[in-house]
Amino acid sequence: MKKLLVYLKGYKKETILAPLFKMLEASFELFVPLVIAAIIDTGIENRDIPYIVRMALLLIVLAVIGLTCSLTAQYFSAKAAVGFAAKLKSALFAHIEALSFKEIDTLGTSTLITRMTSDVNQVQSGVNLVLRLFLRSPFIVFGAMIMAFTIDVKAALIFVVAIPLLAIVVFGIMLISIPLFKKVQGALDAVLGVTRQNLTGVRVIRAFHQEASEIDSFDEKNDKLTGLQKYVGRISALMNPVTFIIVNGAIAALIWVGAIRVDNGIISQGEVVALVNYMSQILVELVKLANLIITVTKAVACGNRIQSVFEISSSMEEGKVPMDGVAEYAVEFNNVDLCYNEGADNSLSEIDFKVKKGETVGVIGGTGSGKTSLVSLIPRFYDASRGEVIVNGINVREYSFDELRKQVGIVMQKAVLFKGTIRENLSWGKKDATDEEMWQALEAAQAKEFVEGKDGGLDFEITQGGKNLSGGQRQRLTIARALVGRPDILILDDSASALDYATDAKLRQAIANLPGTMTVFIVSQRTASIMHADKIIVLDDGQIVGMGTQDELLESCEVYKEIYNSQFKKAGEA
């Protein structure tokens, strides 16, 4: 949590002025009991109306000055807290963006969203309250005790006993609560994870009539969160009644001692009232401090969770070698293994092949055979556990990410579009792309016709996730986005699954006719999509079990033959 305070550096003035103005307000507040004591002992006892009026006006002036100081402190503390949270979110988002797929997969999307939103908001609230109350409340407590000593030393000894007791209660509960709040946030992650999964998979849930089981699963996670919140809430709730008991007991003792000392003529009635007011001030401030500590406890727990994300560094180190493009082979895999998690089985084993520039390579295999894993190594979404992945004669580890991914265009299995216009989405492939380049990419991706039919054409507004487009339209736009930048290597990761066979064939023909020597990897479940490739790689359980042209594979590879026959042989034919 301490390391996060670096994001307050730009708000030094606010972090000084906010508590300063709060302490000024507190100083004026400490004079109020003395003014009231003077009104009782001088004004009321002597029936001096003008004196009472003057003192009443003085109370109003103190109140106005205190209110002004309080509002000023509120402004500075809010400015610092909001600015701190904005900087923290920006830094956290940038850090998450810098992590490799491996770290993001390990952390999980739901917990990252929680830490970016709920946790940061808790830390923001903590910073805001600390700037306003962390110095003010102790200042009032000890200031009231000192003022009490100026009135009567023996009566003030009650303060000396009450304040340490209150401190033990407050800080004891805080130490117990901090680890429990961490567990609460962890349970919140689980609830958000289930919620996100249900919202993204709602169609599947309804298709298989699994609403009841998913509701039970959510209720289980929610009940665990509720139970933890109730448990920590009960402990935190002890703070207020226990502090009230101690303070009210101290007030009772104060009135008893004060009555004896007034009777003996040692102190006046007004001074007893002042002592009770000071004790009441302590009560109010300790209740505030108790609530502050609960908020700070949550903020510290959330801050530690955020800090734990910052402490995770990317497993990938960025290289600096420029891409010169003079090598004979566009892509080479030299005895490559891939393992996503340490201790787990390899997802890919002993992958070894070479692809010349301008070749089209088909990658096929059963579900879970490692097709996506293989092509994900080329743009270096993951690093090989063993062996080398070489692009244009240089190991991918030696390229800068920007240089490598500028040359590799990839279309993912899931077609992801972002809220904005078609033009804005296509510009992801090339920032300074002209309208002409965009229309050329759309034409090659077989998307020109439907884009021309949309209101505004390139300026047609896409909703979040492309929900106002069909699956085939989304896929064609993602292909166009990859083609805009005219990459040296194009990877189509099962990105035409929503297209009919005729459109798929036109797409492949259009890509083949593009100028230059683009190397194309087509990952597909359809043999029709890859049958004309220069080379077909057949994967089974993470290993290459066949490689060659279609005719060669039909002769030598049983896995490919089985896939081919299942798609082309008519029912009943041997």
> According to the model, what pLDDT value does residue 571 have?
37
- In which residue ranges of the chain is CATH 3.40.50.300 found? 330-568
SS (H, E, C) 59-102: HHHHHHHHHHHHHHHHHHHHHHHHHHHHHHHHHHHHHHHHCCHH
pLDDT 10s digits, 493-512: 888 777 888 888 888 888 88
User: Using an 8 Å Cβ cutoff, are 154 and 261 in contact?
Assistant: yes
> According to the model, what pLDDT value does residue 57 have?
93
> According to the model, what pLDDT value does residue 468 have?
86
Around 420, how many Cα atoms within 13 Å sit in the side-chain half-sphere?
A: 10
3-state helix, strand, coil in the chain (%, to 5): 65, 10, 20
> According to the model, what pLDDT value does residue 570 have?
44
> According to the model, what pLDDT value does residue 227 have?
92
> According to the model, what pLDDT value does residue 1 have?
65
pLDDT 10s digits, 371-386: 989 999 999 888 888 9
> According to the model, what pLDDT value does residue 318 have?
81
Tell me the backbone φ, ψ of residue 237, rounded to 5 degrees.
-70, -20
Chain-centroid distance of CA 56 in Å reads: 53
- In which residue ranges of the chain is CATH 1.20.1560.10 found? 2-310
Classify residue 324 as exposed, middle or buried by CB count within 10 Å of its CB (0-12, 13-18, 19+): exposed
CA separation for the pair 456, 421 (Å, rounded): 9
What fold, for 330-568? Rossmann fold (3.40.50)
> According to the model, what pLDDT value does residue 390 have?
92
> According to the model, what pLDDT value does residue 343 have?
64
pTM attached to this predicted model? 0.72
SS (H, E, C) 526-547: CHHHHCCCCEEEEEECCEEEEE
Q: For residue 264, what are its two tokens? A: 């003996």
User: In which residue ranges of the chain is pLDDT below 70?
Assistant: 1, 323-325, 343, 569-574
Which residues, 6+ apart, have CB-to-CB distance to 574 below 8 Å? Answer: none
> According to the model, what pLDDT value does residue 355 have?
92
Q: What is the rounded (10 degree) CA torsion for 359, 364, 370, 371?
A: 50
Which residues, 6+ apart, have CB-to-CB distance to 376 below 8 Å? Answer: 101, 382
User: Using an 8 Å Cβ cutoff, are 43 and 55 in contact?
Assistant: yes
Domain boundaries 2-310, CATH class: mainly alpha
CA separation for the pair 70, 114 (Å, rounded): 33
Going by the DSSP 8-state scheme, the letter that residue 548 receives in this structure is E
